[in-house]
Amino acid sequence: MEELTREYYLSGAGLKPTAELQPLYKKYSAILSEDSLALALEAFKAATPGSEEHRQARILLEWLADSQSGRELAPLDEREIAWETSAMVTLADGTKLQFERTPIEIANSDDRAWRLAIEKARATLIEADLAPLRRERFQRERDIIERLGLAKDYNSTWELLSGISLADLRAQCERFLIDTQAAWDETYPEFVKRVLKIDPKVATRSDALALFRAREFDAAFPGSTMESQVQRQVRDMGVDPIAGGRIRLDTAEREGKRSRAFCAPVRVPEEVYLVLRPHGGQTDWSTFLHELGHALHFAYARPDYPFEYRWLGDNSVTESYAMLFDHHMDDAGWLRRYTELGESNLRNFLRSAGFEELHYIRRYCAKLIYETHLYGGDVRWESLPDLYVQLLTKATNFQYSRSEAFVDVDPHYYSARYLRAWQLQSLLCETLTQRYDEDWWRNPRAGPWLVQSLFSEGQRELAHEQAKRISGRDMSFAPLVRGIEKLLS
């Protein structure tokens, strides 16, 4: 895992042209053998449900199943990483842009014609090169997992190994989309008209990137002070923001660096990288906070915990810590103390944050529903792009492209982890507020509690188990709806 993660870090940070995965899978082939999988399955079946042995065996079995898939898909993954690092988008006028920079160029442009030109050229390139790679990846992944014979199909296998009910989560997503439809119908045209000055009926995904970049607030979120101010807040909370040097920050612009930020726990808890390619303004602040939440979690995990609890488990948990930190950008007190956002702009910014939050949860609800069909096998592969456009466009009103149907998907139902993280984060924030007041983020007693009660536990617990332990409540979208309504009011 250390060697694999280091390869992903070096390639994602633009320090290597591609990740060399196949030699590592060959080097450690015994770990991923059929005998190893059978041994883990035997341990899982033999362990008493509810015991630590059962918990560890389930987590290890999930990792082995995913790793079996990863080993077979390594050649495709290498090709995809190499393509994304080197691919160039050619516009109709002959202008060339690095593929990984296109989302940044779109988000930072106030020229809609330019945004649409990039979007069109990008879609053409994806249709020709990347989409076929990604489609083959998902086809083969589904076949590989079903071939393991752990359950009747991919979705049932995922539920068995993750401990999460897809049916329950999908029903919650469908309910959320219904419950927030009126609020979305009211706010969507308002923001699109005011910020983008276009007809809401013609807005596309590229317009969404520009809208949520929120350039009108750039002056309040300079890149020069981002790291120092965020680190100051973490110290105010009683925590070392770089964990004694275990967290290494990589936030500079670099050719070949992924446009999407990430945290790479190369050695847990000793060596954790936070990688961000600057976009500018509040986007960078929110992203840096998000990835720092991940980094603090891994860097403060108990070093004496077994591999399964430090490295593996329900990623809804680490995503909830990332969201706990990025949601500082929804907190008026935090914004007053650590940013240059003046009082006159505060209400508009918070309302914009509420609209963005509503958009992203609706978007991910639609993504999960779409992915249950992608992995479920009840829709033909050729029909999935049309279904993707239908579901995502209906949920967000932004016009989506068929080219993204296999690209806008994080493997292994990671959308489910994000959605559960949103739910857990809202309960954690309410619990911290009850314990340490509404400005818990600067209470020197709150940070040590976070480290001891949450971060140190790695991902031993499932998200809903942690919710019960910390708050005594079940996870749901209800607290999120309340928070969004408050921000929009």
Compute the Cα dihedral for 250, 102, 369, 398 and give only its sign.
Answer: positive
* Cα 170 to Cα 174: distance, rounded to the nearest angstrom: 6
Question: Residue 221, SS3?
Answer: coil
Give burial (CB, 10 Å; 0-12/13-18/19+) of 93.
Answer: exposed
CATH number for the domain that contains residue 237: 1.10.1370.30
| DSSP secondary structure letters along 74-93 | HHHHHHHHHHHHH-EEE-TT
Put simply, whether the predicted model's pTM sits higher than 0.85 gets the answer yes
- In terms of DSSP H, where are the helices of 339-458? 343-376, 384-396, 414-436, 446-449
Number of domains in the chain: 1
Contact 471, 426 (CB under 8 A): no
Burial call 73-86: b when 16+ CB within 10 Å, e when fewer: bbebbbbbbeebbe
Closest C-alpha among 21, 2, 132 to residue 81: 21
Domain carrying residue 104:
2-488
Cα dihedral value 474, 355, 341, 328, nearest 10: 20
AA identity, residue 478: A
pLDDT tens over the chain, length 489 residues: 999 999 999 999 999 998 899 999 999 999 988 899 999 999 999 999 989 999 999 999 999 999 888 889 999 998 998 898 899 999 999 999 999 899 989 998 989 999 999 999 999 999 999 999 999 999 999 999 999 888 999 999 999 999 999 999 999 999 999 999 999 999 999 999 999 999 999 999 999 999 998 888 999 999 999 999 999 999 999 999 999 999 999 999 998 899 899 999 999 999 999 999 998 899 999 999 999 999 999 999 999 999 999 999 999 999 999 999 999 999 999 999 999 998 989 999 999 999 999 999 999 999 999 999 999 999 999 999 999 999 999 999 999 999 999 999 988 999 999 999 999 999 999 999 999 999 999 999 999 999 999 999 999 999 999 999 999 999 999 999 999 999 998
* Cα 441 to Cα 327: distance, rounded to the nearest angstrom: 11
Find all residues with CB under 8 Å of 304, minimum gap 6, and list them: none
**Joined tokens for residue 409:** 């998907």
Residue 275 parent element (H or E): strand 271-275
